[in-house]
């Protein structure tokens, strides 16, 4: 069986001798990989900066797949169905799972991170982790997991209609936050250090206000009118998608009193903040991890209904056989990779 293996940082190989999936246990399905999206988690793994990671590893958790076989009497799936994959393997019995927080399972295994993922021809997984669509393309199905990260973060933030929401970072995760802020009736303001990504937000994501984060972000925010037409006020919600410690710690100076800060970005290290400043503003700080099954269902429906347009997202594409050779060119800043897709 063919697949792509990351043996160590920046050391991929195309393998033609991977073992085929074994017997199909009850409750499981065998799927054939069709599309794999490359995201920030993968880039960190490639660079050797991904926490909770061991090598060698088969990457791939943003997946569009086709069902080959199903061994689950409770499932309505059938061979040939096209699905998005919910790649978070949770136990279902720990305290987090029992409370509906399977994304925080105490023994969580994410495909492509803690366990081998979908950069291979076929693999098996619980049938309940497959989200079918008769309408979406395989490309769109591979984008659902990326969008789910933003969907869950906005749900955590409980964005209100008319609320100004500062989104820090215009990479794929930050971009995935934007449509759900908009769907909630919020007003997104995006800050980033990349001119091209800010332009993408304005032109493709219909974001009216962007901020160059190389400048004074607080001053720029204070100069903007809020939902009541007044200026001189900070946003009441900040979602940090940078995974940059400096940006994450600066959130406490960029939030209005009584506001909410949501960390959807991740880095290996500690976050510190001034406690009197935190208490004086009575800030609510939340983490946002992965997504929930309902997020996948909601996103598929939004794309099917045309509420979310995935057309602008995919900027680069290659076959599985060519991936190892083309990857170095994608790693160059001038490549401007937003979302790359590998076809199997």
What is the CATH classification number for the domain harbouring 120?
Answer: 3.90.180.10
Over residues 277-306, mean pLDDT = 97
Confidence of residue 36 (pLDDT cuts 50, 70, 90): very high
**Same domain? 208 vs 275:** yes
pLDDT given for residue 227 in this prediction: 61
Task: Tell me, yes or no, whether 295 lies in a domain.
Answer: no
The token duo for 269 is: 């290290």
State the residue range of the domain holding 13: 3-132+313-343
**Same domain? 190 vs 85:** no
Strands 130-132 and 82-85: antiparallel
DSSP per position, 171-232: SHHHHHHHHHHHHTT-EEEEEES-HHHHHHHHHHS--SEEEETTS-HHHHHHTS--TTS--S
Q: Measure the CA–CA gap between 91 and 46, rounded to whole angstroms.
A: 28
pLDDT given for residue 74 in this prediction: 94
In 10 A of CB 76, how many CB atoms?
A: 9
User: pLDDT exceeding 90 applies to what percent of the chain?
Assistant: 90
Which is it for the CA torsion 158, 161, 164, 168, positive or negative? positive
* Dihedral angle over CA of 282, 238, 298, 208, nearest 10: 140
Contacts of 188 (CB under 8 A, 6+ apart): 165, 167, 177, 178, 181, 182, 207, 209
pLDDT given for residue 226 in this prediction: 65
Task: Give residue-wise pLDDT tens across range 137-173.
Answer: 999 999 999 999 999 999 999 999 999 999 999 999 9
pLDDT given for residue 314 in this prediction: 95
Over residues 51-70, mean pLDDT = 94
Tell whether the model's pLDDT for residue 190 goes beyond 70: yes
**Same domain? 162 vs 119:** no
Asked if 92 and 176 count as a contact pair (C-beta separation under 8 A), the reply is no
Tell whether the model's pLDDT for residue 232 goes beyond 90: no
Confidence of residue 49 (pLDDT cuts 50, 70, 90): confident
**Same domain? 211 vs 241:** yes
Task: Tell me, yes or no, whether 196 lies in a domain.
Answer: yes
- Which of 220-229, 244-253, 327-336 is predicted with the least confidence, judged by mean pLDDT? 220-229
**Same domain? 84 vs 194:** no
- Which of 36-40, 52-56, 96-100, 189-193 is predicted with the least confidence, judged by mean pLDDT? 52-56
Task: Tell me, yes or no, whether 137 lies in a domain.
Answer: no
Task: Tell me, yes or no, whether 142 lies in a domain.
Answer: no
**Which letter, b or e, does each residue of 27-50 get, where b requires 16 or more Cβ atoms within 10 Å of its Cβ?**
ebbbbbbbbbbbbbbbbbbbeeeb
- Which of 28-32, 74-78, 79-83, 223-227 is predicted with the least confidence, judged by mean pLDDT? 223-227
DSSP per position, 262-314: EE----SS-----HHHHHHHT-EEEE--S--HHHHHHHHHHHHTTSS--TTTE
Tell whether the model's pLDDT for residue 273 goes beyond 90: yes
Tell whether the model's pLDDT for residue 103 goes beyond 90: yes
Confidence of residue 228 (pLDDT cuts 50, 70, 90): low
**Same domain? 37 vs 155:** no
In 10 A of CB 234, how many CB atoms?
A: 20
**Which letter, b or e, does each residue of 319-338 get, where b requires 16 or more Cβ atoms within 10 Å of its Cβ?**
ebeebeeebeebeeeeeeeb
Residue of 86, 66, 71 lying closest to 131 (CA atoms)? 86
Tell whether the model's pLDDT for residue 304 goes beyond 80: yes
Task: Tell me, yes or no, whether 297 lies in a domain.
Answer: no
Mean pLDDT rounded to a whole number for the chain: 95
Over residues 214-228, mean pLDDT = 88
Over residues 103-126, mean pLDDT = 97
Asked if 145 and 291 count as a contact pair (C-beta separation under 8 A), the reply is yes
Phi then psi dihedrals of residue 47, to 5 deg: -85, -10
Confidence of residue 40 (pLDDT cuts 50, 70, 90): confident
Tell whether the model's pLDDT for residue 50 goes beyond 80: no
Helix (H, G, I), strand (E, B) or coil at 4: strand
Number of domains in the chain: 2
pTM: 0.93
Tell whether the model's pLDDT for residue 239 goes beyond 80: yes
Helix (H, G, I), strand (E, B) or coil at 64: strand
Task: Tell me, yes or no, whether 308 lies in a domain.
Answer: no
Task: Tell me, yes or no, whether 304 lies in a domain.
Answer: no
**Same domain? 41 vs 81:** yes
Tell whether the model's pLDDT for residue 210 goes beyond 80: yes
End-to-end CA distance of the chain: 12
Tell whether the model's pLDDT for residue 198 goes beyond 80: yes
Contacts of 2 (CB under 8 A, 6+ apart): 14, 15, 16, 18, 120, 121, 320, 321, 344
Task: Tell me, yes or no, whether 218 lies in a domain.
Answer: yes
The token duo for 316 is: 């680069």
Beta bridge partners of 123: 31
* Dihedral angle over CA of 111, 307, 162, 204, nearest 10: 80
Tell whether the model's pLDDT for residue 230 goes beyond 80: no
Residue of 327, 333, 308 lying closest to 150 (CA atoms)? 308
**Same domain? 51 vs 96:** yes
């Amino acid at each position: 069986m063919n697949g792509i293996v990351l043996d160590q940082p920046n050391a991929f190989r195309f393998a033609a001798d991977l073992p085929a999936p074994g017997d199909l246990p009850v409750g499981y399905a065998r799927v054939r990989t069709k599309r794999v999206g490359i995201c920030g988690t993968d880039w960190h793994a490639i660079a050797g900066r991904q926490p909770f990671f061991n090598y060698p590893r088969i990457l791939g958790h943003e997946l569009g797949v086709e069902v080959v076989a199903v061994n689950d009497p409770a499932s309505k799936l059938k061979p040939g169905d096209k699905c998005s994959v919910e790649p978070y393997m949770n136990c279902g019995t720990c305290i987090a799972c029992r409370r509906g927080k399977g994304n925080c399972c105490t023994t969580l295994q994410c495909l492509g991170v803690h366990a081998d993922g979908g950069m291979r021809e076929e693999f098996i997984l619980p049938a309940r982790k497959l989200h079918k669509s008769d309408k979406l393309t395989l490309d769109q199905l591979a984008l659902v997991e990326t969008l789910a990260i933003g969907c869950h973060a906005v749900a955590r933030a409980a964005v209100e209609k008319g609320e100004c929401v500062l989104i820090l970072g215009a990479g794929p995760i930050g971009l995935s936050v934007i449509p759900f802020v908009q769907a909630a009736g919020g007003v997104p303001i995006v800050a980033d250090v990349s001119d091209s990504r800010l332009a993408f937000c304005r032109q493709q994501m219909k974001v009216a206000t962007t901020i160059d984060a190389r400048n004074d972000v607080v001053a720029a925010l204070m100069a903007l009118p809020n939902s009541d037409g007044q200026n001189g006020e900070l946003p009441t919600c900040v979602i940090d998608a940078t995974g940059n410690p400096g940006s994450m710690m600066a959130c406490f100076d960029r939030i209005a009193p009584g506001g909410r800060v949501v960390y959807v970005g991740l880095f290996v290290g500690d976050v510190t903040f001034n406690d009197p400043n935190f208490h004086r503003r009575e800030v609510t700080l939340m983490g946002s991890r992965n997504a929930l099954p309902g997020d996948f269902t909601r996103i598929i429906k939004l794309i099917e209904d045309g509420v979310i347009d995935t057309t602008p997202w995919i900027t680069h594409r290659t076959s599985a056989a060519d991936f190892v050779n083309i990857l170095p060119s994608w790693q160059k800043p001038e490549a401007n990779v937003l979302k790359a897709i590998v076809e199997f």
